[in-house]
Amino acid sequence: MTTAPAGASLDATALRQRVAAVVAAHDPTTTDPTEFLAARFDAGLAWVHFPEGEGGLGAPRVLQTVVDEEFERLGAVPAGRDKLIIGLGMAAPTIVAFGTPEQRRRYLKPLYVGEEVWCQLFSEPGAGSDLAALGTRAVRDGDTWVVNGQKVWTSHAHNARWAILVTRTDPDVPKHRGMTYFICDMHAPGVDVRPLRQLTGEAAFNEVYLTDVRIPDSHRLGEVGDGWRVAQTTLMNERVSIGGRPEPREGGLIRFATEAWRSAPPELRTPGLHDTLMRLWVEAEAARLTQERLRQQLAIGQPGPEGSATKLAFARLNQEISGLEVELRGAEGLTYDDWTFHRPDGHGMATRGAGYRYLRSRGNSIEGGTSEILRNIIAERVLGLPGEIRVDKDVAWKDLPK
């Protein structure tokens, strides 16, 4: 495979040539998907803005769109990557931002090619919306840390090899300080994963108990006590990955609502429902275009609080649109017969029925940051409004009400 030499000036044309070289040497129709993704990673085309040798070329982030579109044009889009979303969208950017060279070399390639699944150990029974209140303790013991606590709402924990984990390492300082961020081996002794059955009958989420789990200090990301700052990188990327996925015009859930309208019997195609459909169609298109603009802004910088707005709109629209679809489908929309317990790799919004979409969308306003918290972020960090009064900012975590 012939590519431009490392360090050469890169532009859209040069990147398209690199993509073509990878596809020519590894026919995506016959090459094993893991092997193909490994070739893409080695060519620096996984994330072009990452450093050379770590899946990237040190190129401007904006050029990633060129690479993705060219692979898609050549028929080389990997399928079934839903269970990798936490690794790809949240763990990888955090590892690149705060990981050591050894950590980046160890984790990024297996993460990208799908050999290792990741999960996110953040929320706790008493620390969901207020993540900084978390109480999972990590106590240093020489070159290792001993971790005890409970995490909840953990997607893919049942098939994850690694987890990104935030802990409390110093209870004597205010809650936003004294937190430390680790990479946790999900196969380590003391890690207990238990399913959480959802409204849909499935169990994509889990609760995870950590009992005397030993984590080497070499698995720490960032400095001791700096876990809140590291976690913010993860959270900003999470909200973009949840609320800012690219969609074609009339894509996403609005597609199912418009299909339901076109096939609905005349008695259901009322002027009121028509007005509701048109309003939601316009809002969905406005949200799609806003998400596209956000992705263009992210291409030349870092994810910021604006991602909270796209995630907030995503949650509200999904819930309203799925409700309209159920209404348009009449009695059919009220049926739901898939209550069997199972462990899905993804959420299946596009492959399941209207009843599933309606039930599953209830969680969109909770996962990835509740809508209430996102409104606070938008108000304070985007609009510049006065922040809420917080009486616990200077109180040691150990002295807070539990």
CATH of the domain at 260: 1.20.140.10
- Judge whether 72 lies within some domain: yes
- Judge whether 206 lies within some domain: no
Closest to 71 (Cα-Cα) out of 112, 40, 25, 108: 40
At residue 71, what is the residue type?
A: F
The pLDDT value recorded for residue 250 is: 87
CA 381 to chain centre: 21
Q: Which of 54, 238, 306, 320 is catalytic?
A: 238
Task: Among 99-103, 119-123, 367-371, name the one with the lowest average pLDDT.
Answer: 367-371
Task: Among 2-11, 151-160, 210-219, 254-263, name the one with the lowest average pLDDT.
Answer: 2-11
The pLDDT value recorded for residue 305 is: 66
Among 192-201, 275-284, 378-387, name the most confident range.
275-284
- Judge whether 135 lies within some domain: no
Helix residue ranges, H only, 174-222: none
- pTM listed for this prediction: 0.85
- Judge whether 215 lies within some domain: no
Residue after which a domain boundary falls, among 79, 100, 119: 79
Percent of the chain with pLDDT over 70: 91
Task: Among 18-32, 72-86, 133-147, 374-388, name the one with the lowest average pLDDT.
Answer: 72-86
- Judge whether 264 lies within some domain: yes
| Domain hosting residue 275, numbered range | 231-382
The pLDDT value recorded for residue 4 is: 43
Residues 6+ apart with CB under 8 A from 101: none
d(CA 102, CA 96) in angstroms, rounded, equals 11
Cβ atoms of 308 and 244 within 8 Å: the answer is no
The pLDDT value recorded for residue 7 is: 42
**Beta strand 205-216 pairing with 191-196:** antiparallel
Residue 243 CB: number of other CB atoms within 10 A? 26
Residues 6+ apart with CB under 8 A from 279: none
The pLDDT value recorded for residue 387 is: 85
Residue after which a domain boundary falls, among 22, 51, 79: 79
What average pLDDT does the segment 250-275 reach?
93
The pLDDT value recorded for residue 368 is: 75
Does the structure show a pLDDT above 90 at 367?
no
Q: How confident is the model at residue 293 (pLDDT cuts 50, 70, 90)?
A: confident
Residues 6+ apart with CB under 8 A from 13: none
Residue after which a domain boundary falls, among 39, 57, 79: 79
- Judge whether 399 lies within some domain: no
- Judge whether 355 lies within some domain: yes
Q: What is the pLDDT of the chain when averaged over all its residues?
A: 89
> Domain count of the chain?
2
Q: Judge whether 238 counts as a catalytic residue.
A: yes
At residue 382, what is the residue type?
A: V
- Judge whether 190 lies within some domain: no
